[in-house]
Chain A
Amino acid sequence: MTWQGWLQIAAVLLAVLVIIKPLGLYMARVFAGDRTPLSPVLAPVETGFYRLAGVDPRREQGWFAYAIGVLAFSLAGFLLLYAMLRLQAYLPFNPQGFGALAPDLAFNTAASFVTNTNWQAYGGETTMSHFSQMAGLTVQNFVSGATGIAVAIAVTRAFARSGVKELGNFWVDLTRATLYVLLPMAIIVALAFVALGLPQTLDGAMAATTLEGASQTIALGPVASQEAIKQLGTNGGGFFNVNAAHPFENPNAFSNYLNIFSMLSISAALVYAFGQIVGSRRQAWALLSAMAILLVTGIGIVYWAETAGNPIHLALGVDPALGNMEGKEVRFGQAMTALYAGVTTGISNGGVNAMMSSLTPLGGLVPMFLMQLGEILPGGVGSGLYAMLVFSILAVFIAGLMVGRTPELLGKKIEAREIKLAMLAVLLLPTAILGFSSVAAMLPAGLAGLASAGPHGLSEILYAYTSAAANNGSAFGGLSANSPWYNTTLGLAMLAGRFAYIVPVLAIAGALATKPRVAPSSGTFPTHGPLFVGLLIGIILILGGLQFFPALALGPILEHVLMLAGQTF
């Protein structure tokens, strides 16, 4: 580790810190339905959309109708994307003449992008036409992110309101999140990306003759426009097979900064918007502090483990100066790789600028663990905020048990119904991850995909289902996941991880909205101080740790011990 490395990490995180307040305040205005500086341009588009769709923007929905809206919209997106991928050969913008995707791969990819996971069982430049990338994947990058934001805003309103059933109108929140937040930012970031070197063309490839006279075909496409929303919507599905390790997705240090800044900003600012809407910015900073402490710790561990290198390789005479370089790019070095790996899994991005599978065992454990915590640091756009609120509900509940009082969060009494629903949501992740992983580890169809023997093989399976159920999308890429077994089960894990979480969360919101907000008394446990931050971190770690520690012990932890002993497989 070097001080330059830490300074680079600090600079990116500081830039995010600076934008949290202005962007958070802007989003609070957007979702209050207020006019914004962009309204003169966007309001007519918005109104036109509502008219064509038959939406009355003033009519709000209760939690159940809101949830049905989420599900109906996601189903429509899923079916449209599936159809596009299956009919790819007959659609335009296909300069390389790619054929249709197989049914299991199309199912997996459609589930992947509709759930904001963006797991790639396919190689972008060898599978997807420009039409599929633009009209299929890019669109879902926008709207799946906007769906997450909408749900988070609905939950936020539940805390701000009292004695009502309505949480807002899903169609309005979805449209405003897309038009007022994601689209303007995507345009700015995409153009900056082009300036930094990302291609943006409808050509399919260019044919070069190398200096040594060999021919090299270089895949091209509308990369910048997709990369921008891939980061802003915390999607992570790259244009190319190797994602943001590809020099055309991430050509230099500045593009790498912008990638990381883009993927963190909206999620972090949404927490501030939450504080603004519920009238307690201190609550927002308390949640952000808990997220920042865990995230920076994770980044630090990856940075340390990768700089320390792999003793098996060092014993062969490899110079330790650069650290573990397998699967990494020279232009990023260890600091920017560690930052990317921590952020992409702390939030729900899943893009990578180095291969997760080739990280050292502890370096690879951290991304896996950050996903297993539920991706709340600060998480996917929207999904991170509502997952963090679920953990906050559990934290005040446990604090309430310790002192024997009815728990409250922001003046809302937390009662049996909320706790049951919160536990239902929290238990989903371990059920899906450990359940699918253990079945895959026993079935020939699951074992057939393994690239590694020994504990790394188990890590490949565990990482895949963790990534799918947590809607992340990164991978230990050795696993041959493009098989009917993995395409189907991972697709199911993604759908469960997304929608079986959103429905109970919206049900909690529905229950909270009807409750009155009680004024804090001398007996109220304050939820914006260091004590609460510590308690929240404790709950997150205990839930994550207890559930997943045995599995992690058999995978990355065992591999670390064997690596120190010089064992290879």
Chain B
Amino acid sequence: MLAQLRPAIVLMLLFTLLLGLAYPLAITGIGQAAFPAQANGSRIERDGVLIGSSLIGQNFAGAGYFHPRPSAADYNAASSGASNLGPTSMALRNAIVERSAALALDMPVPADAVTTSGSGLDPHISPAFARTQVARIATARALPPEQVAALLAATIEHPVLGLIGEPQVNVLRLNLALDAMAPPAS
């Protein structure tokens, strides 16, 4: 019994040094050297200002921007979170009713438009949800709807080889492209 104590303690400490410090620090060193953009959080800057991360959703409420999905975390990227509401939750049902009413669409509502994501930071929306927003944005920015629709079509990310992944729209990238095309009326 006591003979087993020494290897238990010594190996635990050695593994802590090797796996807990040497391994992550080595990966940090190599990662920072080889893939600095990704290793530092895929930053997006505009005019020298950090706008956000291309991987992390952020909130948009203005009429002139494409809106992201509802978020249970309020797009707080320092504290991710989900609603965790179950399938028979009355709170979830009521929320969907409210969100659908706010969208006021004369067609079936895209599911991602009225549900919260797993992370609360979903950077994407479905192309269907994006299309429902084209008319609003065209009006707010005084642009022809065709021009906004064309920008959207160019921004949709399709599955690689038609197979890998889902059709999706990165909301932040799309809104940046929108600003580049027609600066927001201030």
- B-binding residues in A (CB < 8 A): 4, 7-8, 45, 49, 52-55, 65, 68-69, 72-73, 75-77, 80, 123, 125-126, 134-136, 138-139, 142-143, 171, 174-175, 178, 183, 186-187, 190-191, 194-203, 205-212, 214, 216-220, 222, 224-226, 229, 240-242, 245-248, 251-254, 257, 309-310, 312-313, 316-333, 336, 352-355, 357-361, 364, 451-452, 454-456, 459, 476-478, 559, 562-563, 567-569
Docked Cα-Cα span, A8 to B80, in Å, equals: 28
Give the contacting residue for A76; candidates B12, B100, B175; CB below 8 A: B12
CA distance A500 to B121 in the complex (A): 40
Q: A393: shortest Cβ distance to chain B, in Å?
A: 28
Given A208-B53, A218-B78, A313-B96, A563 and B109 contact (CB-CB distance below 8 Å)? no
Instruction: Using known A-B contacts A202-B28, A208-B50, determine if residue A72 contacts B4 with beta carbons closer than 8 Å.
Output: yes
Whole-angstrom distance between the alpha carbons of A187 and B15 in the complex?
Answer: 15
Contact (Cβ within 8 A) B124 A331: yes
Contact between B166 and A332 (Cβ–Cβ < 8 Å)?
yes
B52 near A218 with CB under 8 A, answer yes
A200 touches B11 (CB 8 A): no
Are A195 and B38 neighbours in the complex by a CB distance under 8 Å?
Answer: yes
Q: Are B23 and A325 in contact, with the CB atoms below 8 A?
A: no
The chain B residue sitting closest to A337, CB to CB, is B118
CB contact between B122 and one of A72, A178, A330, A454 (< 8 Å): that residue? A330
Of the residues B15, B34, B82, B159, contact of A242 by C-beta under 8 Å: B82
Chain A residues within 8 Å of B40, by CB = 199, 201, 203, 206, 220
Given contacts A139-B15, A211-B60, A358-B87, contact A246 B9 (CB under 8 A): no
Interface string of B143-168 (1 = CB under 8 A from A): 00000000000000001101111101
**B100: shortest Cβ distance to chain A, in Å?**
6
Most A C-beta atoms less than 10 A away, residue of B82, B108, B117 = B82
What are 29 of the A-B contact pairs (CB < 8 Å)? Answer: A8-B164, A55-B7, A65-B4, A72-B4, A73-B12, A123-B81, A138-B19, A142-B19, A195-B38, A207-B50, A211-B172, A212-B65, A217-B77, A246-B80, A247-B53, A251-B55, A253-B166, A254-B164, A312-B93, A316-B97, A318-B109, A320-B111, A327-B117, A328-B115, A328-B117, A329-B122, A330-B168, A452-B89, A456-B87
Taken together as a complex, chains A and B put the C-alpha atoms of A211 and B59 apart, in Å, by 9
Q: How far is the CA of A452 from the CA of B85 in the complex (A)?
A: 8
Contacts of B124 in A (CB 8 A): 329-331
Q: How far apart are A53's CB and chain B's nearest CB, in angstroms?
A: 4
Interface residues on B, range: 35 or more
CB <8 Å contact, B15 and A206: no
Which residue in B8, B24, B69, B75 is a CB contact (below 8 Å) of A69?
Answer: B8
When the two chains form their complex, are residues A205 and B78 in contact, meaning their CB atoms are under 8 A apart? yes
Distance in Å: Cβ of B93 to nearest Cβ of chain A:
5
A73 contacts B166, C-beta separation under 8 Å: no
Q: Which residues does chain B contribute within 8 Å of A216, judged by CB atoms? A: 52, 56, 58, 75-77
A53 vs B12: C-alpha distance when bound (angstroms): 10
B1 beta carbon closer than 8 Å to chain A: yes
How far apart are A302's CB and chain B's nearest CB, in angstroms? 13
Contacts A142-B19, A186-B23, A563-B88 known; A322 to B126 CB distance under 8 Å?
Answer: yes
Q: Chain A: which residue is nearest B90 at the CB level?
A: A568
Chain A residues with CB under 8 A of B60: 210-212
Taking a contact as CB atoms closer than 8 A, the residue among B31, B49, B59, B166 that contacts A194 in the complex is B31
Whole-angstrom distance between the alpha carbons of A358 and B115 in the complex?
A: 10
Contact partner of A211 among B9, B58, B79, B166, CB < 8 A?
Answer: B58
Which chain A residues border B53 with CB–CB below 8 Å? 206, 208, 218, 247-248
A476 touches B58 (CB 8 A): no
- Report Cα–Cα, A69/B145, bound state, in Å: 70
B139 at interface by CB-CB < 8 Å = no
Q: Is B138 interfacial (CB 8 A cutoff)?
A: no
Is A242 a contact partner of B164 (Cβ separation < 8 A)?
no
